[in-house]
Amino acid sequence: MIGASIRRTEDRRLLTGRGKYAADFRLPGMLHAAVLRSPHAHARLGTIYPEAARGLGGVVAVITARDLAGVGRIPVRLGPRPSLIACLQLPLATDKVRYVGEPVAVVIAESRYLAEDALELIRADYEPLAPVVDCRRAVEPGAPVLHEAISGNIVDRLSTHTGDAMRALAAAPVRVRERFAVQRHTGVPLETRGLVAAYDGGTRVLTIWGVAKVPHFNRRVLADLLGHPEHLIRFVELEVGGGFGVRGEFYPEDFVIPWAAMRLGRPIQWVEDRREHLMATNHSRQQFHEIEIGVSRDGAILALADRFLADLGAYIRTHGVIVPELTAALLPGPYRIPNYSCEVLCVLTNKTPTGTYRGPGRYECTFVRERLVDLVAKALGVDPVEVRRRNFIEPDEMPYEVGGASLGQRTVYDCGDYRSAFETALAAVDYKAVRAEQAAGRRDGRYLGVGVGCVVEKAGLGPWEYARVEVDGSGHVVLYSGAAAVGQGLETTLAQICAQELGVPPEAITVIHGDSALVPFGVGAFASRGASVAGPAALEASRKIKAKILRVAASLLEAHSEDLVLEDGAVSVRGVPDRAVTFRELARAAVPGPPGMDPGLVATHFFEAPKMTYPYGTHAAVVEVDAETGQVWLRKYVIAYDVGKAINPMIVDGQLVGALAQGIGGALLEELVYDEQGQLLTTTFMDYLLPTAMEMPEATVVKILEETPTPLNPLGVKGAGEGGSSGVGAAIANAVADALAPFEASVTALPLSPDRVLALIRAGRER
């Protein structure tokens, strides 16, 4: 079962329209919420006048910060640091608003239509302040300050040092220096956020439906903010329409809606609309790098020194400063870099707060590093692939300590054969043939380019995950996982692992996740940890229950457990198929069961994962650029990616291609654009451009590699969720730069819109 591309057990309900997402959930008497958001990027918030809205028929309540007096700020989930506390967000704005879209009031009404009518009747006094929109400006003296509690807009400084980068740079025979910019863009799942909250005043149980990603953590946050006991709060995940890092973090609405449901004693549904989503849900990725590399004359990297600004938006949200931290930790990538330094300024601006987006920090650092490597090749006059071949860390150097740390762990690559994945990608893209076609094309005025992007990802973040396997009284196997589903096929993947151990078909196993009443412990779905942390937990729990099944069977069949055969939901004595007991019989006999056994066919396992895994691979893009219009056409795209072990290769392939599409969006199309006043201009799907089927490459080749299973877990799985995205900005930018080499175009920023590409051609010509 492990390694089989079986079709997914989730799909039937999704294909027939029976999957229930947050917006599909209904309760009798349910009310609907709508959020009033700040129209200003930066303003003092004066009096709010909710009376007219309260007077509208069908309106039940209008909630402002006054109603929430004393409620605390939303805490950091990953990497809390004392320096960040002053800049955390309150559920509703109090005396100041700091970005367009910041929640100011919430209307609760009999329908969403009425709630939106009521929003139009709320007036609020704002005293506009000068906004600071560009983080490069925000660090200058005299720039407007967002949070008076910290001096200036730099909320934190991070630094990483290995060796002595400055000295090594000074001594390096060849040095290349460049500035790079990655634009603000984000996950944008097709389902917007949403939740339903209901409070039972009798039992005092508060239930939230529509939670995602990290339900157990968020339940604790809500319990703390409400001052309501954790065991009286139940979180229930429904279907989740895509996560990508942004969904499932604790947002202001995740407090206000449950709070209102408790106050009003009626169920409340809130469903974010798309316009809100683009201004309220975490943004990501915006960074400005100034980087220098020193190499020997034969291309060996001697030193790398980077300094960058990370634009974190108006508040610190649940991810703290981990996106810049991960950028700095993984910037060295697959290359041996003896001297490395990175200085980071984490900067606040009057824009939507930020968090992680698939491949956080890696999409950014891979773009920067891989562009720089291509510039080294140019400086040395060699093909870019040769510089990479010169510098890969070799398999016999593993585990490899990079220097630096993130998420409280030193960066130590577990295992890998970077060169092998690289050569696989080059073979799949037919690198030599593309170079020949490029040369021929240039003679006809066609501009083809090929670019590579080598990726070292990070996955399998612990610290642990929970699994419990039960055989119920009717003989069905039920797997309870502390992980969460965000559309990635968690149920199928975990069922395959469990099925392998228990000898039942995966479709016969029910996988339950995301319900805090049924799954008491859990960490969740992020950092490509489903297969690599929840998977081993499921494996170990399955092994434990298998032992119990055999023990009960041995007692019933009066046989030694070594003589028993477990298959098709029954246990029989080897060679005597008639002497058999079914799971149904075993489950019933297991209470109290044989003396000395914990009663019941149930087994629990906490899998601890103190170290992360580092999946890796190479992206290769072939593009053609219309040098008259600036349009970029993707002719071919290759990803060779080592996941250690693929539980379901079809699902892994789907993860990689899906991530590729998002990466293409970041490379060519997607950008959250603000004007100088801090107004977000991209608040619709006509302005924020997700790739369609027409923008995907003409040919896509995915090579799933299993050459280096990780020693860090019993499955050898590294993780597959993010590496399809991380290398795309790099590979496409390198390919476009390669295509435009005759024009000396300098590709240093994303996205490569036609306008920007044409400007690069012009600027190159002028040089």
Partner 1 sequence: MKPPPFEYFTPASVEDALALLGEHREQAKVLAGGQSLVPLLNFRLARPRYLVDLNGIPHLDYIREEDGWLAIGAMTRQRAVERSALVRDRCPLLAEAMPQIGHVQIRNRGTIGGSLAHADPAAELPAIVAALGGRLVVRGPDGERVMAPERFFVGYLTTALEPFELLVGVRLPVRRSRTGHAFVEVSRRHGDFALVGVAAALTLDAAGACADAALALTGVGPTPVVAAAATRVLVGQRPSAEAFQEVGRRVSETLEPDSDLHASSEYRKHLAGVLTRRALTRAAERARGGEG
Partner 2 sequence: MKERTIRLTVNGRPYERTVEVRKTLADFLREDLDLTGTHLGCEHGVCGACTVVVNGEAVRSCLLFAVQLEGANILTVEGLADGDNLHPIQEAFWEHHGLQCGFCTPGFLLTLYCFLKETPRPSEAEIREAISGNLCRCTGYHNIVIAARAAAEKLASAGPTP
Burial class (CB in 10 A: 0-12, 13-18, 19+), 628: exposed
By the rule CB under 8 A, 695 interacts with partner 1: yes
Task: Give the list of residues 6+ apart from residue 354 with CB closer than 8 angstroms, or none.
Answer: 184, 282, 283, 284, 285, 286, 311, 312, 313, 317, 319, 323
Task: Measure the CA–CA gap between 138 and 62, rounded to whole angstroms.
Answer: 35
Q: Is 5 in the site for partner 1 (CB under 8 A)?
A: no
Kindly report the CA angle at 691 between 492 and 617, in degrees rounded to 5?
60
Give the shortest CB-281-to-partner 2 separation in angstroms.
Answer: 13
46-54, 181-189, 374-382, 511-519 -> range binding partner 2 (CB under 8 A): 181-189
681 binds, among partner 1, partner 2, none (CB under 5 to 8 A by kind): partner 1
In one letter, which amino acid is 67?
D
- Residue 230 or 698 having the CB closest to partner 1: 698
CB distance 59 to 108 below 8 Å: yes
Distance separating alpha carbons of residues 510 and 519, to the nearest angstrom: 13
**Stretches 250-258, 379-387, 527-535, 692-700: which one binds partner 2 (CB under 8 A)?**
692-700
Specify which residues 479 forms β-bridges with. 469, 511
Query: How many chain residues bind partner 2 (CB under 8 A)?
Result: 53
Length of the chain: 767
Beta-carbon count within 10 A of 591 CB: 12
350-369 footprint of partner 2 as x/- string (CB under 8 A): --------------------
Q: What's the half-sphere exposure (Cβ side, CA atoms, 13 Å) at 62?
A: 26
Distances (CA, A) of 584 to 576, 589, 642, 674: 20, 9, 41, 62
Using the rule CB under 8 A, give the single segment among 148-156, 419-427, 677-685, 709-717 that binds partner 1.
677-685
Restricted to residues 601-660, the positions that interact with partner 2 (CB under 8 A) are: 650-651, 653-654, 657-660
**Least separation, in Å, of the C-beta of 23 and partner 1?**
13
Angle in degrees, 0-180, between the axes of helices 431-443 and 418-429, rounded to the nearest 10: 40
12 binds, among partner 1, partner 2, none (CB under 5 to 8 A by kind): partner 2
- Considering only 410, 684, 762, 765, the residue that binds partner 2 (CB under 8 A) is 684
Enumerate residues 267-286 that contact partner 1 by CB under 8 A.
273-275
Q: Which of 682, 713, 726, 748 binds partner 1 (CB under 8 A)?
A: 682
Range 612-631, binding partner 1 (CB under 8 A) = 628-631
Binding status of residue 110 toward partner 2 by CB under 8 A: no
Is residue 239 a contact point for partner 2 (CB under 8 A)? yes
191: partner contacted, choices partner 1, partner 2, none (Cβ within 5-8 A by kind): partner 2
Instruction: Tell me the C-alpha distance between 640 and 418, whole Å.
Output: 10
30 binds partner 1 (CB under 8 A): no
How many residues sit close enough to partner 1 to count as binding (CB under 8 A)?
30
Question: Is residue 66 near partner 1 by the rule CB under 8 A?
Answer: no
Residues 443-472, one symbol each (x = binds partner 1 by CB under 8 A, - = not), give ------------------------------
**Residue span binding partner 2 (CB under 8 A) among the ranges 182-190, 408-416, 426-434, 752-760:** 182-190
User: Which partner, partner 2, partner 1, none, binds residue 696 by CB below 5 to 8 Å per kind?
Assistant: partner 2
28 binds partner 2 (CB under 8 A): no
* Binding of residue 681 to partner 1 (CB under 8 A): yes
List the one residue from 11, 51, 120, 298 that touches partner 1 (CB under 8 A).
120
Q: Residue 252, exposed/middle/buried by CB under 10 A (0-12, 13-18, 19+)? A: buried
Q: Is 113 in the site for partner 2 (CB under 8 A)?
A: yes
Rounded to whole angstroms, how far apart are CA atoms 320 and 75? 9
- Name which of 206 and 627 has its Cβ closer to partner 1: 627
Give the up-direction half-sphere exposure of residue 185: CA atoms within 13 A in the CB hemisphere: 25
Closest contact distance (angstroms) between CB of 649 and partner 1 is: 31
Rounded Cα gap, residues 542 and 605, in angstroms: 9
Q: Which of 183, 481, 488, 618 binds partner 2 (CB under 8 A)?
A: 488
What are the Cα distances from residue 480, in Å, to 416, 467, 469, 535, 538? 32, 6, 6, 12, 8
Q: 296, 319, 435, 422: which is closest to 370 by C-alpha?
A: 422
Q: Residue 102 or residue 671: which is nearer to partner 1 going by CB?
A: 671
**C-beta closer to partner 2: residue 15 or 69:** 15
From CA 556, how far away is CA 559, in angstroms rounded? 8
Distance between CA 710 and CA 532 in Å, rounded?
Answer: 10
391-409: buried (b, 16+ CB within 10 Å) or exposed (e) per residue?
Answer: bbbeeeebebebbbebbee
User: Which residues contact partner 1 (rule: CB under 8 A)?
Assistant: 112-113, 116-117, 120, 273-275, 628-631, 669, 671, 673, 681-682, 684, 686-687, 689, 691-692, 694-695, 753-755, 758-759
